[in-house]
Structure 1
Amino acid sequence: MTHDHDLELRPTPAQISAALNPPPGRNGGDLVVETLAGLGATTVFGLPGQHALGMFDALRRSDLRYVGLRVENNAGFAADAYGRITGEAAPLLLSTGPGALTSLAALQEAAAASAPVLAISSQIPTAGLGGGRHGYLHELPDQAASFRGVVKSVHTVRTQSQIPSAIAAAWQSALTAPHGPVWVEIPQDVLLATTLLPAVTAVDATPRELPPRPELTAVAAHLLSHAARPAIIAGGGVVRADASGKLRQLAEKLNAPVVTTFGGKGAFPWTHPLSLQSWLEDRHTTDFLEDADVLLVVGSGLGELSSNYHTFTPRGRVVQIEADLGKLESNHPALGIHADARLALQALLETVEPREDETAPDRVRTVLDRVRARLDSQQLALEQDLLVSVRRALPARSPSFWDMTILSYWAWSAFDARFPNTMHSAQGAGGLGYAFPAALGAAAADPTHPVLAVSGDGGALYSIAELATARQHDLNVTWLIVDDGGYGILREYMTDAFGEATATELGRPDFVALAESFGVPGVRTSPETLEADLARAFATPGPSVVLLPAVLRMFAPTHLGDGRPDDK
């Protein structure tokens, strides 16, 4: 008996001919790039290195676009942003040892933010593997072990025939909810050796779906339908699942106020009558959420930043929808639903009963008025006006990328992202240097919109070399650097805690002159001219730098913890 799937596996005459007559001059690196192309990749990021040259030579024979950055960590940030913007797994090609290890901080951010990055690293020759120290350049006793605690999955290759399946498995892992970075390593000799294998043409790596269990959504729907004061916290999982439309439908059906986390910016319309916006570092918002008798948490683990530094203690019933099993009920007891946000919200939409509540918009306005009054009492007009200027200048559909700096902390709470998947920051892991290389990755993903990067002067020096990348590839990124002469937030923390600051003051370059030395136009702006200077930069194709000398302050925290995350 012949089954239908047997017929599907039978090669066509053309496929047989191509398999029997592979193109000459191919090596293991060709199997890598052919597999990536077969999976749908069009752009790769990275840096070449001695052990990885087989991969990079193969790029020359492929149609893949290569965007090379100057530091592996920055290449990882660029791939991270490309994955966030496109929803595709972003290939990151790396060399062995120091080159690979330099990407670790970027991969940690991708893991914390669930960004799909497919890192493919070279390895020392197979003869040197096995745990001993053989004296190879870049050798590590166990390179994969350095990444196993950071990435979602590790895939090791030891022969050429393993390459397509290993990369396909990694691709599937990266794109199965929760998204995340994955690691593939291939020895130098496997990449360099001539291959007799046919060209890779058929690769299947369809991500697995993660639907909710129906008995759990039935209970959740019952709780929400009969709640007196329901509320919703929407996290980054809503954005990654492209579920903002379903979130809005559910909120309106339940008349439930919505708070978006810093990672979930744009998941719910900022000016909607049910929008509590993103004031998570405000006790008024925390009190409101604690008072909810049923709290629906979608796509958030309620970690440090989303819980007002773990001061949030819900008094009602919590329903948590989370694709990352390790985050389910990790901070608060809940009806835990392990599922993709889009599928779970759809199930709830089909099950909940409409809930009438004319008081919800008034309660939302009361909280926002209290937040506004508290800010107005702190004499922080400069900081708020700067965000208004940025928002007015930035085109509505343009993505923005924010480093760990004071203006970014303000943006987490106060910036209207306008649309889902348009505002991203390094708040997942909290490392410095994210904004500019990430913005370059976003510009490579979608050249139709100008991209904004925001850094402090300290964080800017982490990625200053990428001005060369921006110019070389003519990427449409405007980099706003807020120069306060040092690590501003650490200066503020130390002064508050110890009376004076240590190790926070920095010598720094003339950023405008430095940008111009790379062939990137730069301008020194002021709070009064920022909007016009940014608008001009966005309207001019290609990279640019806008320098804003300003000393900013954070609004006074209203949580009970001991300070915000470390940043510079």
Structure 2
Amino acid sequence: MMHDHDHETPRLTPAQLAAALSPPAGRTGGDLVTETLYGLGATTVFGLPGQHALAVFDALRRSPLAYVGLRVENNAGFAADAYGRTTGEVAPLLLSTGPGALTSLAALQEAAAASAPVLAISGQVPRAGLGGGRHGYLHELRDQQASFRDVVKSVHLVRTASQIPSAIAAAWESALTAPHGPVWVEIPADVLAAPTTLPPVTAVDATPRELVPRPELTAVAAHLLAGAARPVIVAGGGVVRADAAGKLRALAERLAAPVVTTYGGKGAFPWEHPLSLRSWIEDRHTTDFLEDADVLLVVGSGLGELSSNYHTFAPRGRVIQIEADLGKLEANHPALGIHADARAALSALLESEQLEPATPGTAPLGTASRRDPTEAAAAVRAVLAAVEERIAGQHLEPERAILAAVRDALPARAASFWDMTILTYWAWAAWPGPMHSAQGSGGLGYAFPAALGAAAADPGQPVLAVSGDGGAMYSIAELATARQYGLPVTWLIVDDGGYGILREYLTDAYGETMGTDLTGPDFVALAESFGVPAVRTTPESLREDLAKALAAPGPSVVVLPARLRMFAPTHTDTAR
């Protein structure tokens, strides 16, 4: 009897059989790494070479894999993160041991928070140096894996060459099983460097497990939604990662339910749709509307700090939460918690008999009546009008004009990556389409290396990176990477002479600032010293200069000297 989890053993081609019986000479454990990655479907890897990873890089030279080398491990991690976010594929990240590996930790934390499938493969000191002793090996740590266990989804240790393919395949499966996330593989340097007579790796099974909803939970959720008078949907990043935007729209239209998109879920619902409440979640008008829902469906969001208006959100109705990350299920609000991938759960709801459309006024108990979409759309317009009136009253026309100029300059299909800067806070609320940011862990320096990773995935499309001058200094070395690979990334640097958002935070909370005013370089001259074209612009010429830079091949830098202001918060925690 064949069970569902059984697989037919793949057959070798004659060439593969010959290679298995007589393995090519000159292969090492490093070749097993690259062969396994290629067999799993990897095409591009990111990273930096180092002493304990040299054998992998030597094997990489012989492999069909493309390599993008960045200048700092943390930035290599950000590039891999963006590659994983934009493609939905695993992004291998090759690192050395000790300081090289540890420098990647902040990027792996961001990948974990944003559910990006990054597969980090690190070297380790030779096996003789393992076990907690001090053997004097360069980069030796007592327990290197312990630094990563609290950050990544799973850790996979290799101690012999024969373990390499299975460990990488298990890590690959973990990275792609919902919720996606970073994983860690550790291989000692002597295992990587040792010659191997193992046959070349061919087919590797690493099919991710499907995370489907339990049917009794789907039935209860469908019953609640069918009977709701004021249903509202919160769409988070899990909708985007699951490629479930179409199903979300179908459900919203079936229910005539307004949709709020979280900052991480930008693109989950059409911005101009009559049911779109957009992303003004840091606004009391939106929060009040969500609280008034009698049934609130939260899809792919943990309702964390930003998505709950800094934990001021207090729902009065019934909450249904669909979430692939078990740790986020009911973490902030009691709910009917459905542990499932967003796409699978939305499909199950759409297929539920209780949500079958019915003739108005004749819907039997437990089925969805055709609520008046006109009334729902009118309620949405009222909330958006109230938000607009509030923002307009703060006299922030320059900030709104700058964001509009960036939006107008960016081609429709081009991806954008945003650092932690004041313009990004504006974009979270007011940017009309998909965008990528370091929202998950809030680290500086994300935008530019992440944009390089996205450009490596699709070199035919321009990519925009947006940073402040403080955040830009974290990533300035990657101008060399952009130039070396000719990646079509335009970097907009908003130069306000310091950490602008922290300057506002300190002023709001304590009345004075400390450590936020910075002496910076001439970014135009600095970019040009890397051989990257650059221009200094003004708010009036930003749209034209940015569009011109995005249309040109290869990397470019646009510098906007400007001191922007934030819109005033409307929650009770003024310190934010």
1:134 shift after superposition:
1.2
1:21 shift after superposition:
1.3
- Aligned residue number for residue 458 of structure 1: 470
Residues 342-398 of structure 1 show CA distances to partners (whole Å, capped at 9, x for unaligned) of 010011111123332231000000000000000000010011111110111001111
1:323 shift after superposition:
0.3
1:67 aligns with 2:82: no
Residues 488-538 of structure 1 show CA distances to partners (whole Å, capped at 9, x for unaligned) of 111112222222211111010000000000000000001000000010011
1:356 aligns with 2:371: yes
Letter in 1 for 2:149: R
Q: SS in structure 1 opposite 2:206?
A: coil
- Aligned residue number for residue 557 of structure 1: 569
Aligned partners of 1:310 and 1:561 also within 8 Å: no
- Aligned residue number for residue 540 of structure 1: 552
1:148 shift after superposition:
0.1
- Aligned residue number for residue 383 of structure 2: 367
1:407 aligns with 2:423: yes
- Aligned residue number for residue 307 of structure 1: 308
| Further displaced range: 228-237 or 484-493 | 484-493
Instruction: List alignment gaps of at least 5 residues for structure 2.
Output: 358-369
Which aligned pairs between 1:125-164 and structure 2 lie closer than 5 A? 125-164=126-165
2-side partners of 1:9 and 1:31: how far apart? 19
2-side partners of 1:464 and 1:477: how far apart? 13
Number of residue pairs matched by the alignment: 560
2-side partners of 1:496 and 1:297: how far apart? 32
Aligned partners of 1:286 and 1:312 also within 8 Å: yes
Q: SS in structure 2 opposite 1:55?
A: helix
Letter in 2 for 1:356: R
TM-score (norm 2): 0.96
Q: SS in structure 2 opposite 1:428?
A: coil
2-side partners of 1:356 and 1:148: how far apart? 48
- Aligned residue number for residue 382 of structure 1: 398
Q: SS in structure 2 opposite 1:305?
A: coil
1:176 aligns with 2:188: no
1:485 shift after superposition:
0.3
1:147 shift after superposition:
0.2
Letter in 1 for 2:167: A
1:530 aligns with 2:545: no
2-side partners of 1:494 and 1:382: how far apart? 23
- Aligned residue number for residue 363 of structure 2: none
Letter in 1 for 2:75: N
| Further displaced range: 553-562 or 255-264 | 553-562
1:93 shift after superposition:
0.1
1:447 shift after superposition:
1.4
- Aligned residue number for residue 365 of structure 2: none
1:257 aligns with 2:264: no
2-side partners of 1:413 and 1:229: how far apart? 24
1:482 aligns with 2:494: yes
- Aligned residue number for residue 509 of structure 1: 521
Letter in 1 for 2:414: S
- Aligned residue number for residue 221 of structure 2: 220
| Further displaced range: 220-229 or 488-497 | 488-497
1-side partners of 2:137 and 2:553: how far apart? 45
Letter in 1 for 2:321: Q
2-side partners of 1:538 and 1:195: how far apart? 48
2-side partners of 1:400 and 1:496: how far apart? 30
Q: SS in structure 2 opposite 1:8?
A: coil
Q: SS in structure 1 opposite 2:568?
A: coil
- Aligned residue number for residue 35 of structure 2: 34
Residues 424-481 of structure 1 show CA distances to partners (whole Å, capped at 9, x for unaligned) of 0000010000000000000001112100000000000000000000000000000000
- Aligned residue number for residue 76 of structure 1: 77
- Aligned residue number for residue 364 of structure 2: none
1-side partners of 2:269 and 2:7: how far apart? 47
Q: SS in structure 1 opposite 2:526?
A: helix
Of 518, 530, 542 in structure 1, the residue corresponding to residue 530 of structure 2 is 518
Q: SS in structure 1 opposite 2:143?
A: coil
Which aligned pairs between 1:56-455 and structure 2 lie closer than 5 A? 56-351=57-352, 352-354=355-357, 355-357=370-372, 358-417=374-433, 422-455=434-467
Of 493, 510, 535 in structure 2, the residue corresponding to residue 498 of structure 1 is 510
2-side partners of 1:3 and 1:370: how far apart? 57
Aligned partners of 2:534 and 2:559 also within 8 Å: yes
1:11 shift after superposition:
4.7
Q: SS in structure 2 opposite 1:459?
A: helix
2-side partners of 1:123 and 1:471: how far apart? 31
1:401 shift after superposition:
0.3
1:14 shift after superposition:
4.2
Aligned partners of 2:10 and 2:203 also within 8 Å: no
1-side partners of 2:418 and 2:309: how far apart? 20
2-side partners of 1:2 and 1:152: how far apart? 31
Q: SS in structure 1 opposite 2:487?
A: coil
Instruction: List alignment gaps of at least 5 residues for structure 1.
Output: none
1:84 shift after superposition:
0.5
Q: 1:191 to 1:286 in 2, by over 3 A?
A: same
Residues 73-111 of structure 1 show CA distances to partners (whole Å, capped at 9, x for unaligned) of 000000000000111110000000000000000000000
1-side partners of 2:350 and 2:384: how far apart? 27
State percent identity of aligned pairs: 80
2-side partners of 1:339 and 1:374: how far apart? 38
Tell me the C-alpha RMSD between the 2 structures: 1.5
Letter in 1 for 2:550: F
2-side partners of 1:3 and 1:346: how far apart? 25
1:13 shift after superposition:
4.8
1-side partners of 2:10 and 2:70: how far apart? 41
Q: SS in structure 1 opposite 2:9?
A: helix
Aligned partners of 2:508 and 2:574 also within 8 Å: no
2-side partners of 1:498 and 1:18: how far apart? 69
Aligned partners of 1:238 and 1:298 also within 8 Å: yes
Q: 1:174 to 1:2 in 2, by over 3 A?
A: closer
Residues 176-208 of structure 1 show CA distances to partners (whole Å, capped at 9, x for unaligned) of 000000000000000000011000011010111
Residues 234-290 of structure 1 show CA distances to partners (whole Å, capped at 9, x for unaligned) of 000000000000000000000000000000001000010000000010000000000
